[in-house]
Chains A and B, each alone.
Chain A
Amino acid sequence: MTGNREPRDAPCPRDGSRREFLKNLGVGGVATIAGTGVALAAPNLGGDALADAWSDFFQDHYQRMTPEELANALARIERRARRRFGVDIRCEDTPPLDGVVFGYALNISKCRGYRECVEGCVRENNPGRDSQVQYIRVLEIDRGTMNLEGSDHYYDPETVPRPGKFYLPVQCMQCDDPPCVKSCPVEATWKEPDGIVVIDYDWCIGCRYCMAACPYWARHFNWTDPWIPPAEINPVTNYLGNRPRAKGVTEKCHFCTQRTRKGRQPACQEACPTGARIFGNLLDPTSEIRYVLENKTVFRLKEELGTDPKFWYFTD
């Protein structure tokens, strides 16, 4: 419940009048009451749930919320997690860093198909466990081809790597010209200043047009109310990141906004035992990722589609 920053976009007059309109509906009043309830502590859970549902319904788009509305939204997210999972989480709104655009490079010759990145990602990002949403998919491909159609998504041998195979991890490429953003009818997904394509899970209407538009199969849908065993919940969360999601909305890799915007590595990079993953600031000429891009022969998956991915592959 910390509104720890100024809103990025000053509300324009149009939004101001809209807010007036909503206030006239009495929504502002309810939001204030809900907020006060938290401030005074000793919340009645039943009452909270009802007021929260009401405020959730009228919650504005992330980019249009005032600092106060955002603080209330974050508090509601924390209360929701407590009600659903019995776990105290902390949900922040972590702003992008100035002068940073994130990029990723992956050394295919080092990837050995362990899928540690997949597991690290799941531990970090609170996807539903029953729904088995995973942001990273590692493809096992026969050496000598790059045809994805022949790849095995569910390889499960005793030991990896298997002879004659190579491994290609695929996740959201954080395209610079993202077709998913273009397709969304309600602007529930957009590219942040640090180049990360994010989703306002509370604004998504669940039409799944973005999933049809994505050439990397990076977007996943919550077909059911996602369940996470309470012991496995990562309580350190971000609004545009790993906070628990609801039924009926889309989600995807967000380069671990809750970590990377605080100078930490993304969870997949931290989990990778082979050092195949290079993550960093594309605007920093001294960064490792810049070194890779300038000195290695890199390629991007489906570059011909013109989406300008910020995820590169290279080999030793």
Chain B
Amino acid sequence: MPFLHFLRDGLKAMFSGGRSYWMWVGVLGVLVGFGAWNYAHQLDRGLVVTGMSDQVSWGLYIANFTFLVGIAASAVLLVIPAYIFNRPAIKDVVLFGDGIAVAAVAMAMMFVLADLGRPDRVWHALPYLGRFNWPASLLAWDMVVLSGYLLLNIAIPAYILYCHYRNREPNLRFYFPLIVVAIFWAISIHTVTAFLLSSNPARPFWHTALLGPRFIASAFASGPALIILVFQLIRRVTAYPVQQEVIRTLAWIMAVAMQINLFFVVAELFTDFYNEGTHAASIRYLFLGLHGFDSLKPWIWTAMILNLIAVIILTIHPLRNSMPWLNTACVAGFVGIWIEKGMGLVLPGFIPTPLGEIFEYTPTGTEIAVAIGIWATGILIFTLLAKGSIPMKLGRLRHGRPQEKSH
């Protein structure tokens, strides 16, 4: 029964900590409850409590979903240097990348669930019991790749941690094939999410072959931004050492990805505006406003400025190597891309409608509250996973040996 002990001891480690740990978990718990309470209200009244409409039928929820799939995919940026290029410093922290991936996929799934009109019928999507429209429906593909990615990102670190727990070396020959699968799988989850949108000629704004590459580029920018910030946090509040080399590598990847992403945005703008047709209506609405409607304009320009700030900082070596500057770039890039590929990408697809109607969307308080609840759940998931795995990773928690004191 060592595996059950592993789970028991892991759970025990998750739920033991100092006062500041419990305060942190408590705050997250309150936010989760706040989101759940608002979700209950949405279940009761229907999606009418959101700002969505027949015109703009996806909003804040799906915007967060597309963004978070990118965050999940970017865990691969730790997996590749750790296992393909054998960088020991990165191998030491790759588990946290998996943890972020698990939390991000869980959040992405919760956002889709929150968006459903009939969550009581999700079982209709189960193969065998329900009717699963695979391979025709891209949403069916997304369900497959997201669940698969979630399993991979639980299975691989669980195996490695379990080996640590049993005090033996993980057998690379055993789990390396899974790593390779996970690498391709990471790219696939975000490609499928891009295809989910770009496969619709009904929505010219999404219907571009550049969407897939753009998603990957922005994911590889926003993901490292988050990971760099999280690693510094781990370094500060736990005993876990994260070497500076890891952060330098991630910052370098982020610099390149941000540059490519900005280039893609320029390519889109040029193609749509040089000979502007009716297909450019959505992008005009987004950047300049259309027939007097321009509620997204301040958002997208904020995003552009934030992304530009991030690119400039990351491109100048002395700035990138200074932590305060790097952190500024990370926050700017993370927020900038959250706007650009979240609301800035999902909403204009619906404006104007295929029949040329312009109807704007603003999320309601309920929607924002549910979104906060889901983000808090994701952060809580990551907190617990990190809390449970750090003592095992550090060798403090071993099978048959009580856990040593930690903070």
Contact = CB atoms under 8 A, between A and B. Distances in A.
Contact of B131 (A61, A147, A206): A61
Contacts of A182: 133, 136-137
B201 A206 contact: no
**Which residue, of B122, B350, B357, has the highest number of chain A Cβ atoms within 10 A?**
B357
Interface in B319-370: 349-350, 352-357
A182 B201 CA distance: 13
Contacts of A214: 202, 354
A220 B200 CA distance: 18
B46 A247 contact: yes
Nearest to B47: A223
Interface string A216-257: 110111111100000000000000000000011110000000
Interface stretch (A37-45, A116-124, A184-192): A184-192
Interface in A181-203: 182-188, 203
Interface stretch (B52-60, B148-156, B225-233, B251-259): B52-60
Q: 4 closest pairs, A vs B, by CB?
A: A206-B117, A248-B117, A148-B356, A215-B202
B45 interface: yes
Interface stretch (A68-76, A99-107, A149-157, A288-296): A149-157
Interface of B: 45-48, 50, 52-55, 57-58, 112, 115-122, 124-125, 128-133, 136-140, 143, 196-197, 200-203, 278, 281, 349-350, 352-357
Given A206-B117, A224-B46, A247-B117, A186 B202 contact: no
B47 A221 contact: yes
A57 B200 contact: no
Given A182-B136, A186-B132, A149 B281 contact: yes
B54 to A, nearest CB: 5
SS class, residues of chain B in contact with chain A: loop
A179 interface: yes
Contact of B117 (A137, A151, A222): A222
Contacts of B129: 18, 21
Given A205-B117, A207-B116, A209-B137, A217 B354 contact: yes
B200 A151 contact: no
A222 B48 CA distance: 8
B202 A212 contact: yes
A187 B132 CA distance: 7
A170 interface: yes
A305 B130 CA distance: 31
Given A211-B54, A248-B46, A305-B201, A185 B140 contact: yes
Given A61-B131, A207-B115, A208-B115, 20 more contacts: A18-B129, A153-B357, A170-B355, A185-B132, A186-B121, A186-B131, A187-B131, A188-B124, A205-B116, A205-B117, A207-B139, A208-B58, A209-B139, A214-B202, A217-B354, A217-B357, A221-B57, A223-B50, A247-B46, A305-B202
B118 A206 contact: yes
Contacts of B53: 223
A305 B199 CA distance: 12
A272 interface: no
Contacts of B352: 149
A223 B130 contact: no
B46 A225 contact: yes
Contact of A185 (B55, B133, B349): B133
A214 B120 CA distance: 25
Contacts of B136: 182
Nearest to B112: A207
30 contacts: A18-B129, A149-B278, A179-B202, A182-B137, A183-B138, A185-B133, A186-B133, A188-B131, A203-B124, A206-B121, A208-B57, A209-B196, A212-B58, A216-B202, A217-B55, A217-B355, A217-B357, A221-B57, A221-B117, A222-B46, A223-B47, A223-B50, A223-B53, A247-B117, A248-B47, A248-B117, A249-B117, A302-B354, A305-B201, A305-B202
Contacts of B121: 186, 203-206
B64 to A, nearest CB: 15
B349 to A, nearest CB: 7
Interface in A7-23: 14, 18, 21
B46 A223 contact: yes
Contacts of A207: 112, 115-117, 139
A186 B130 contact: yes
A308 to B, nearest CB: 13
Nearest to A151: B356
A205 B125 contact: yes
A150 B136 CA distance: 34
A276 interface: no
Nearest to A202: B121
A139 interface: yes
Interface in A105-163: 131, 133, 137, 139, 147-151, 153
